[in-house]
Every structure is written in structure tokens, then in C-alpha cells.
A and B are shown apart, each in its own frame.
Chain A
Amino acid sequence: MAKLPIHCPSCSEGLVVAQMQCVRCGTTVNGNYSLPLFLHLLPEEQDFVKQFLMNSGSLKEMAKQMNISYPTVRNKLDDLIEKIKKLQSEDENTAL
């Protein structure tokens, strides 16, 4: 399946969902839905979140698997937390 674009290729503004379709009967729903927060993350960031869950949140295990040091993993996690917080506040501001 093609990679989901999250930014407009013309002006780089964030994209929203305008249409959804049932893969069985072809029914389409049109509207204006925002993308879930985690879909705003880059593919490697989404992969990091997945790894974090798969390792039950053990940064030491992740460091071993990713072949990098523990503080490097922790720093990546801290950056991701910062990014999610920022996205969350942007979302809340848009909703207002």
C-alpha cells in the first residue's frame, strides 16, 4: 500500500481526511476528519513507538536491539515526547 501523505505536496500544510471508502461495498463517506496524532509522526518515529511497545517500554532492551547506547535511546524518546506534546497542543488550538 502507498505511504500515507500527511503534508500537502504543494504548500506543506498538514492534510486532513476528506473521504473514506468501505473496501467491501465501495460506500464512500465524505467529510473533514483530522488525522490521528500518531499518523503525524515520521515513519521512523512510528517505528520507534512500535519498538517501545514491543519491548514493554524497556529502553535497555531497545538500545540492545537498535545497537545504540541507552542515553541515545532515551534522548530519542524525549525528543518524541516533546514532538507529541507539541502536536497535541497544536491539535487543541485547532479544535478551539
Chain B
Amino acid sequence: MKTLLFNPFQKYSDTRLLAVGLITTMAGIFGASMTHTHYDGVLDTHFSDNIPLQTALLESVFNALSLAMVFFILGKIINPKTRFIDILNIALIVKIPAYLLMFFNINGQVFELTRKILSTENTAEALNFTPVNTVFLTVFTTVTIFIFLWIIVLLYNGFKVAVHTKNTFVHILAFVVGVVLAEVLSKVLIYNFI
């Protein structure tokens, strides 16, 4: 179970990972459009009042491409035996935890609450949150932090298996730089082409 959740790249075949990655990505695109969830960056999740299917599709494509391209180039530099399919599988599989966040915005609840926070004076009285709202936001924040850490662990383990990195300073630095570059590239692509 631990391997399945945190390092599926170590155990499961490339074709199986690719199939699961493509199916969940397609489901994620439809889900993002239906729940108005923006995946506007490799590590980003934001909520909106409306997201056309085309936007959700392009965001997903740009995220996967950005991560795959940056990790593949870095992977080839570190280990010339790095295969594109292993890197592409990382880009697709790491999004699965992020897709879970869309369930919080099924009724536009997170978007409404954040809009309320941003549009009122930032005091408890002005916000007028009910206890249910407070509990909901606390749960949402906790789950979001956990999912963010889960994604980082998946990314690190995936990169380690695909590129055969060791836990050395240079390899860890390459991973961190790769994630930052992929995030920047995805943002640039999304804001320029959508």
C-alpha cells in the first residue's frame, strides 16, 4: 500500500502507469471543468466560478508537458539511459492527489468562502463564518497541505526511479531546480496560451 501511494514507479509497469495516468488525466479534465477547479501550474490548484472544458484540457496538457520536458532534459543530463515514458508517467501520476481537491469545490463552496474572505474586511465579525464554514476550511487546509506533501514525495520518488538519482546534494538540487523550472514554464505557457 505504501508503494502504491508513494512510489508506484518502483513497482508498476510503464504501460500500466501510462494507462492509469491517461485515464485519471481525462477524468481530471472533466472533473476540473465541472467543479470549476483550475490546475494552472504543475503544483497549483485554484478555484473559479467557471472553467470551460477547453481551458481545463489545455491547463492539463501544459502541466504535463512542462514537467515532462524539464525532468526529461535534466534526467538525460544526469543519466543518459532515462526514458521519456518513465518521465511522462511521473507527470501524469503526480496529478492524481491534486484531483482529490476538486471534491471540496463541488458546490463552489471553497470558491465562495475564499471570495468572501477576499471581498470583506479581514476580521472574524466581517467574515461572519458559521462553525460549519470554519470546520470546512480547517479540513480543506489540512488536506491541501497533506496533498501538497504527497505530490512532492511522488515527484521525488518518480524522479529517483526514472533517472536513478542518489540522495546526494547535487541530485537533490537538480530535482528542486527541475520542479521550480517546470512550475515557471507551466505558468508561462498557461498565461500566454489560454
Binding site for B on A (CB under 8 A): 63-64, 67-72, 74-75, 78
Q: Assess the B11–A69 pair: CB atoms within 8 A.
A: yes
B83 to chain A, nearest CB (A): 7
Give me 15 other A-B pairs in contact (C-beta within 8 A), A69-B14, A71-B14, A78-B164 excluded.
A63-B13, A64-B13, A67-B11, A68-B10, A69-B9, A69-B11, A69-B17, A71-B9, A71-B164, A72-B11, A72-B161, A74-B81, A74-B164, A75-B161, A78-B81
- Report the nearest A residue to B164, measured CB to CB: A75
> For residue A75, which residues in chain B have a CB less than 8 angstroms away from its CB?
161, 164
> For residue A63, which residues in chain B have a CB less than 8 angstroms away from its CB?
13
Interface residues on B, range: 10 to 19
Chain B positions 81 through 110: 1 when the CB is less than 8 Å from some CB of chain A, otherwise 0: 101001000000000000000000000000
Secondary structure of the B contact surface, majority rule: helix
Q: Assess the A69–B164 pair: CB atoms within 8 A.
A: no
Report the bound CA distance from A64 to B16 in whole Å: 12
> For residue A74, which residues in chain B have a CB less than 8 angstroms away from its CB?
81, 164
Whether B70 is near chain A, meaning CB under 8 Å from some CB there, is no
User: What are 21 residue pairs bridging A and B, where the CB atoms are less than 8 Å apart in the complex?
Assistant: A64-B13, A67-B11, A68-B10, A69-B9, A69-B10, A69-B11, A69-B13, A69-B14, A70-B13, A70-B14, A70-B86, A71-B9, A71-B14, A71-B86, A71-B161, A71-B162, A72-B11, A74-B81, A74-B164, A75-B164, A78-B164
Whether B12 is near chain A, meaning CB under 8 Å from some CB there, is yes
